[in-house]
């Protein structure tokens, strides 16, 4: 599978830069939630789940990290290290995050409110459901 990456428009002038994420424009869904991940300890793996319904876009706004994406058939890895590039995380894609730099901050916009029942946190269950 190919990672779906979105290049955002960067607004800038002599003062610096700005990226705006608007729903159904820069991001391909209506945004209902925003969260960010930071202070991840060295060697840690995060994610390790899939979502049943939620769509997300992840942007590494500081530092870098890697994502493993698995659609149940193929796996791919992608490095996020740009403030103007987002990775689309569609439902039923198993994803894991690793190799976090110390200064890594990942901003995520999501199509749904937090709901633990939307998560598949067991890989065998994911493989059962994705078939």
What value, to the nearest 5°, has the Cα angle with vertex 64 and ends 10 and 8? 20
Query: Binding of ligand T46 at residue 111 (CB under 6 A)?
Result: no
Least separation, in Å, of the C-beta of 121 and ligand T46?
8
What does the DSSP assignment read for 65-110?
A: EEEEEE-SS-EEEEEE--TTEEEEE-TT-EEEEE---TT-EEEEEE
Catalytic residues: 49
Chain residues 43-72 in contact with ligand T46, contact rule CB under 6 A: 46-47, 56, 58
> For 102, how many CA atoms within 13 A lie in the half-sphere containing its CB?
0
Question: How many residues in the shown chain lie near ligand T46 by CB under 6 A?
Answer: 10
Residue 118 CB, nearest distance to ligand T46 (Å)? 8
**Site for ligand T46, rule CB under 6 A:** 33, 35, 37, 46-47, 56, 58, 89, 108, 114
């Amino acid at each position: 599978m190919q990672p779906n990456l979105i290049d955002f428009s960067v607004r800038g002038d002599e003062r610096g830069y700005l990226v705006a994420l608007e729903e159904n424009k820069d991001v391909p869904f209506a945004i209902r939630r925003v969260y960010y991940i930071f202070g991840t300890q060295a060697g840690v793996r995060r994610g390790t789940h899939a979502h049943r319904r939620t769509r997300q876009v992840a942007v590494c706004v500081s530092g870098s990290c890697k994502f493993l994406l698995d659609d149940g058939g193929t796996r791919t890895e992608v490095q996020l290290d740009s403030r103007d590039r987002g990775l689309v995380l569609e439902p039923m894609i198993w994803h894991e995050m690793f190799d976090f730099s110390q200064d890594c901050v990942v901003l995520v916009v999501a199509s749904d409110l937090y709901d633990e029942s939307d998560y598949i946190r067991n890989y065998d269950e994911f493989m059962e459901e994705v078939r």
